[in-house]
């Protein structure tokens, strides 16, 4: 195992756990498939989603982020960030922002930079994994996941294991659980799949002294370039495919000043306390 390949190392650490062996055995019993065949498929899924944080790549990603968000001044209320940073020194933080723009992860990163937070492991749709930026993103903590794994029991099982691996290493997570950008300005109904996987992974860690904290995040823009495209889609128009040409057009469109991006943080919610309260209510 080479230390120079942290992405491969993460996959090998996951596949070396007793939980991985138990999951493969369970999948073989449920599906009637050969264990070795399942291991190959599981390894490919983990390779696809595994990410890591490299300092050099992260600096390049941050420079790209500052350029892409140049339309906005990031307005962040620092109240509460010190408390969150202290929590983050001992527990995983799970940032759950609303989703208005493809710029949201870059804006949130800019808002937390300089306050003592490590880079988040940000879950995003694999439809946005466009080479060569996808490789830079993976080396900066971007976890590309499939939007749907229907009729595929292997992929969600590996995602649970990978989330558990990140929790055991006290990584901070981030995803946009509306499942897509709002087309009306209102919050969309939450997609609970990844949160369910996180809860499963958290319970499987078995460390009763540990915890993770869910952090609600609000991101609001004075103006958005994407509004016209979102309005077209809301009216039944076809969504523009995500290609490098689309990305270039999107980047160029951010050259005009559009005011501020306002970032606010809600009180953190202890996942362990929430699960304990839910268990107590279910038992009563």
Please report the sign of the dihedral spanned by the C-alpha atoms of residue 193, residue 198, residue 200, residue 201. positive
CA distances from 132 to 87, 140, 244, 249 (A): 35, 13, 10, 17
What six digits make up the tokens of 280? 């107590």
DSSP string covering 185-198 = SSPPPPP-HHHHHH
The residue assigned the tokens 């109904």 is: 189
Question: Residue 79: CB partners within 8 Å, gap ≥ 6?
Answer: none
Question: Residue 168: CB partners within 8 Å, gap ≥ 6?
Answer: 205
Q: Quick one: pLDDT at residue 116?
A: 87
Interhelix angle 6-15/154-168, rounded to 10 degrees, is 110
Instruction: Specify whether the CB–CB gap between 199 and 117 falls below 8 A.
Output: no
Distance of alpha carbon 13 from the chain centroid = 20
Residue 132, preceding bond cis, omega within 30 degrees?
yes
Q: Quick one: pLDDT at residue 231?
A: 57
- For 269, the 3-state DSSP assignment is strand
CA distances from 174 to 13, 124, 166, 181 (A): 22, 9, 12, 15
Residue 206: its H or E element: none
Q: Quick one: pLDDT at residue 1?
A: 39
One digit per residue, the tens of pLDDT, for the chain of length 284 reads: 345 588 889 999 999 999 999 999 999 999 999 999 999 999 999 999 999 999 999 999 999 999 999 999 999 988 778 889 999 999 999 999 999 999 999 999 999 988 889 999 999 988 778 777 889 999 999 999 987 777 889 999 999 999 999 999 999 999 998 888 876 778 888 888 899 999 999 998 766 668 999 999 999 999 888 766 665 555 555 566 677 787 888 888 888 899 999 999 999 999 999 998 887 776 66
- For 99, the 3-state DSSP assignment is coil
Q: Which residues pair with 75 in a beta bridge?
A: 262
Beta 212-221 vs 260-265: how paired, if at all? antiparallel
pTM equals: 0.87
Interhelix angle 18-31/35-49, rounded to 10 degrees, is 120
Q: Which residues pair with 58 in a beta bridge?
A: none
According to DSSP, residue 215 is labeled E
Q: Which residues pair with 46 in a beta bridge?
A: none
Q: Quick one: pLDDT at residue 2?
A: 45
DSSP string covering 225-258 = TTHHHHHHHHTTPPPPP--HHHHHHHHHHTTS--
Q: Quick one: pLDDT at residue 237?
A: 54
């Amino acid at each position: 195992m080479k230390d120079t390949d942290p992405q491969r190392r993460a996959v090998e650490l996951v596949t070396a756990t007793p939980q991985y062996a138990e999951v493969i055995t369970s999948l073989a019993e449920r599906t009637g498939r050969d264990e070795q065949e399942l291991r190959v498929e599981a390894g490919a899924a983990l390779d696809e989603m595994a990410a890591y944080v490299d300092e050099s790549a992260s600096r390049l990603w941050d420079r790209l982020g500052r350029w892409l968000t140049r339309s906005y001044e990031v307005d962040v209320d620092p109240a509460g960030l010190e408390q969150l940073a202290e929590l983050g020194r001992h527990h995983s933080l799970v940032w759950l922002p609303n989703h208005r723009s493809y710029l949201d992860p870059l804006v949130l990163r800019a808002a937390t930079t300089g306050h003592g937070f490590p880079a988040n492991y940000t879950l995003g749709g694999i439809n946005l994994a466009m080479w060569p930026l996808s490789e830079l993103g993976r080396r900066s903590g971007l976890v590309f996941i499939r939007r749907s794994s229907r009729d595929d029991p292997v992929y969600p099982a590996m995602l649970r294991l990978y989330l558990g691996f990140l929790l055991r290493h006290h990584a901070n997570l981030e995803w946009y659980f509306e499942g897509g950008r709002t087309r009306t300005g209102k919050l969309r109904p939450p997609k609970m799949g990844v949160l369910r996987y996180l809860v499963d992974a958290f319970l499987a860690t078995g460390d009763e002294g540990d915890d993770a904290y869910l952090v609600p995040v609000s991101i609001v823009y004075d103006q958005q370039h994407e509004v016209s495209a979102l309005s077209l889609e809301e009216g039944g128009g076809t969504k523009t495919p995500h290609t490098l040409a689309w990305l270039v057009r999107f980047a160029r469109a951010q050259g005009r000043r559009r005011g501020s991006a306002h970032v606010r943080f809600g009180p953190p919610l202890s996942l362990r306390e929430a699960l304990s309260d839910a268990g107590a209510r279910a038992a009563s």
